[in-house]
């Protein structure tokens, strides 16, 4: 499992930056901690704002491969609104129950992220003595 956060820098293309990786995550082919939004499965989920489940990685046009021994053959990429993407790697096809648990987890992460952002905006308005919208 990996969590990828949107990173935007001036004069550069936006990317997804590694925010969290599980212990058994293998290195990305270029040994970078970034995924391109226009050329990766996670980026496709982020762009389309919808879940991407790839059962056959080797035949997916956005699959860039990994170095080392790859122990999985499928990836589920779920966008998290206003944050990035959660990817879950599978060595075998997951059950519907497993997918639903992951979807609920991502939905809750999105809610927490939205709540944190609203709290930040509220505190910023108070600190700057601004009126509410």
pLDDT of residue 124: 76
Q: How many structural domains comprise the chain? A: 1
Beta bridge partners of 18: 4
If one counts every other C-beta atom within 10 angstroms of the C-beta of residue 43, the result is 22
Looking up tokens 């997804």, which residue turns up? 16
Task: Please choose, from the candidates 89, 95, 102, the residue with its C-alpha nearest in 3D space to the C-alpha of residue 63.
Answer: 89
Question: 105 in a domain, yes or no?
Answer: no
Task: Please choose, from the candidates 17, 21, 12, the residue with its C-alpha nearest in 3D space to the C-alpha of residue 88.
Answer: 21
Q: Is the pLDDT of residue 42 over 90?
A: yes
> What is the domain-level CATH number for residue 60?
3.30.450.40
Domain that holds residue 32: 2-93
Question: 117 in a domain, yes or no?
Answer: no
Could you report the per-residue pLDDT of 13-31, keeping only the tens digit for each? 999 998 877 655 555 444 4
């Amino acid at each position: 499992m990996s969590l990828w956060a949107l990173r935007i820098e001036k004069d550069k293309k936006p990317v997804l930056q590694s925010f969290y990786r599980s212990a058994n995550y293998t290195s990305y082919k270029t040994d970078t901690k970034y995924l391109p939004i226009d050329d990766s499965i996670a980026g496709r989920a982020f762009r389309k704002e919808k879940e991407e489940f790839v059962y056959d990685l080797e035949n997916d046009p956005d699959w860039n491969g990994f170095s080392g021994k790859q122990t999985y053959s499928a990836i589920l990429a779920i966008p998290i609104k206003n944050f990035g993407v959660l990817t879950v790697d599978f060595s075998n096809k997951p059950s519907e129950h497993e997918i639903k648990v992951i979807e609920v987890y991502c939905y809750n992460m999105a809610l927490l992220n939205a709540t944190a952002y609203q709290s930040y905006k509220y505190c910023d308005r108070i600190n700057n003595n601004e009126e509410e919208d």
